[in-house]
Chains A and B, each alone.
Chain A
Amino acid sequence: DSGVTQTPKHLITATGQRVTLRCSPRSGDLSVYWYQQSLDQGLQFLIQYYNGEERAKGNILERFSAQQFPDLHSELNLSSLELGDSALYFCASSVGPGMSSPLHFGNGTRLTVT
């Protein structure tokens, strides 16, 4: 168990809808990262937050947004969903803002858009 908790485990929704994925980092970790894993794109970095502030941005679509709350949990919001958004979404956490400590991943949320 990595200590990173993601909910829900599975999500099935229709095109055009909006969903929210939630992540609780390991105790003591201040950074939260979001990754998307799909068959054709592999593991893609979406966004990172450190202590409530956006730290780094990757291949995140404008339809997607995220935030990190004062209690350090994070939410990834996906809107106007398309079939191609079906993927496994991972959250990871680490102690610091940079790459000086390893990332620990949650078990992911599997999103299916029908």
Chain B
Amino acid sequence: GEDVEQSLFLSVREGDSSVINCTYTDSSSTYLYWYKQEPGAGLQLLTYIFSNMDMKQDQRLTVLLNKKDKHLSLRIADTQTGDSAIYFCAESGNTGKLIFGQGTTLQVKP
């Protein structure tokens, strides 16, 4: 079945890079997504990558996709306190729905 796994917690210092990892099971996924959820707020689409790409960069965000290992990562350069949030990885399986991971809580210490 479809499954997405993420580590639950990551703590970094302000100014450092953060790397959030995700593994998924559905090899037919067309797109893979990263969403950000701040406390009391909805899910904000951060970025997404098409399955035939290896990397996508968008300002401070870099997404790496290893399709062979079904591994996706999100790197945030120069992490700021405003980046503290829960980050969700999601895959679009062949069943027409997004499957989300459990979310990684990113804590940024000043």
Q: What B residues does A108 contact at CB under 8 A?
A: 42
Verify if B21 is at the interface (C-beta below 8 Å from A): no
Q: What A residues does B97 contact at CB under 8 A?
A: 33, 45, 48, 56, 58, 99
Partner of B96, one of A48, A90, A104: A48
Q: Do residues A99 and B44 form an inter-chain contact, with CB atoms below 8 A?
A: no
- Bound Cα distance from A45 to B93, whole angstroms: 12
Partner of B99, one of A2, A45, A48, A97: A45
Verify if A87 is at the interface (C-beta below 8 Å from B): no
- CB B37 to nearest CB in A, in angstroms, measures 9
Q: Do residues B96 and A107 form an inter-chain contact, with CB atoms below 8 A?
A: no
Q: What B residues does A48 contact at CB under 8 A?
A: 96-97
Q: Do residues B45 and A107 form an inter-chain contact, with CB atoms below 8 A?
A: no
Q: Do residues B96 and A105 form an inter-chain contact, with CB atoms below 8 A?
A: no
Instruction: Knowing A55-B96, A102-B48, say if A42 contacts B102 (CB, 8 Å).
Output: yes
Q: Do residues A2 and B44 form an inter-chain contact, with CB atoms below 8 A?
A: yes
Q: What B residues does A55 contact at CB under 8 A?
A: 96
Q: Do residues A106 and B45 form an inter-chain contact, with CB atoms below 8 A?
A: no
- CB A53 to nearest CB in B, in angstroms, measures 13
- CB A30 to nearest CB in B, in angstroms, measures 14
Verify if B98 is at the interface (C-beta below 8 Å from A): yes
Partner of B31, one of A42, A92, A99, A106: A99
Of all chain A residues, the one with the shortest Cβ separation from B91 is A99
In the complex, besides A42-B101, A99-B93, A102-B33, 4 extra interface pairs with C-beta distance below 8 angstroms are: A2-B44, A45-B99, A56-B97, A102-B45
Question: Can you list 26 pairs linking A and B with CB atoms under 8 Å apart?
Answer: A2-B45, A33-B98, A43-B100, A45-B97, A45-B98, A45-B99, A48-B96, A48-B97, A55-B96, A56-B95, A56-B97, A58-B97, A99-B92, A99-B93, A99-B96, A99-B97, A99-B98, A100-B30, A102-B45, A103-B33, A103-B45, A103-B98, A105-B42, A105-B43, A105-B44, A107-B42
Q: Which residues of A contact B (CB under 8 A)?
A: 2, 33, 42-43, 45, 48, 55-56, 58, 90, 92, 97-100, 102-108
